[in-house]
Structure formats: structure tokens, C-alpha cells
Amino acid sequence: MDKRIIMIVEDNDDDLELAMRAFRLNHVLNDIVVARDGVEALEYLFGTGPHAGRNLCIMPEVVLLDLKMPRLGGLEVLRRIRADERTRYLPVVVLTSSDEEKDMIDSYHYGVNSYISKPVDFEQFTEAVRQLSLYWMVLNQRPRNPLC
């Protein structure tokens, strides 16, 4: 069986390193795909740009999506994920430092599965990653890509 993929869409080096460290501490052995902004995320998900020719039947089990990014923000990425038949049911968790009510409302409007404000404390963050991994990688079931 192929390893199940976690995709992290994060432009902040410190937040990305914290997430990777939290995955290691929680012994999360899944493959991690990192996109540094929304454009990179969509290129990976839709097999364009440097990811042209990628097997689109292999999708992440969950996308951890930051909102505030250069080039293309998280809300637009989420809107495009939900608009495409290949990714419409892909679980997306907004993991952001934004605690603005509008960002939360807009995220749910565009179909996010969960909205989590990043904890500042590393122990809290590590526990959040452990729970995210357990739920989305072990417990959650999702439909297969209808085109595969």
C-alpha cells in the first residue's frame, strides 16, 4: 500500500519547520508534500508546471492550508479545489494564524472541512498535529477520486 500523503501549504519558514518538527515528534511517517504558496499547491494538485505528468489519482489524504500567502491566498486555493471535480472532496484543514471572523466564515463558505488557529505554544501545536494526524490519516474516510 502506498504511503498516504499530507500536503502542507505554508509560506512561513518558521511555521513550516514547527509543523515538520511536530510531525517527527509524533512519529508521523506519511509522505509530506510542501507547497510554499497557493500557486505551488495548485500546480501539485492539478499536475501542472513542475508537476506536469504527475499521477493525479494519487492525492493527499488532507491538505493543511495557510490563508495569508504571497501570489495566491488560501481562500482562492480552497475555492479552486472545491470547483474541480478531481479535488472537490479532498479534505482541507485551514491551519492559520488568522483569527479573523471573516476568514473563518469565508473558509467555511468555500467548503473547508476544519478551521484551526495556529497555537503559539509549541506543545499545543505538537498536540494539534498529533490529533490532526490521527483523525485525518487514520480515522477519516473519504470517497475515491471519481476520475480514477
| Cβ pair 113, 93 in contact under 8 A | yes
Q: Identify the pLDDT of residue 125.
A: 81
Q: Identify the pLDDT of residue 2.
A: 61
Which candidate, 6, 1, 61, places its Cα nearest to that of 28?
Answer: 6
Query: Which pLDDT band holds residue 148 (cuts at 50, 70, 90)?
Result: confident
C-alpha cell at 7: 500536503
Low-confidence winner among 5-9, 49-53, 59-63, 120-124 (lowest mean pLDDT): 120-124
The better pLDDT of the pair 51, 99 is held by: 51
Which candidate, 15, 79, 98, places its Cα nearest to that of 41?
Answer: 79
Mean pLDDT of 131-148: 79
Q: Identify the pLDDT of residue 33.
A: 97
114 phi and psi angles, rounded to 5 deg: -160, 150
Q: Identify the pLDDT of residue 1.
A: 45
Distance separating alpha carbons of residues 127 and 22, to the nearest angstrom: 8
Cell 502542507, located at residue: 8
pLDDT at position 97 over 60? yes
The whole-chain average pLDDT of the chain stands at: 90
Q: Is 90 helix (H, G, I), strand (E, B) or coil?
A: coil
pLDDT tens-place string over residues 68-81? 999 999 999 999 99
Give the chain's domains with CATH numbers. 5-139 (3.40.50.2300)
Distance separating alpha carbons of residues 147 and 125, to the nearest angstrom: 36
Query: Which pLDDT band holds residue 146 (cuts at 50, 70, 90)?
Result: confident
Alpha-carbon dihedral 81, 128, 34, 52, rounded to 10 degrees: -30
C-alpha cell at 117: 488557529
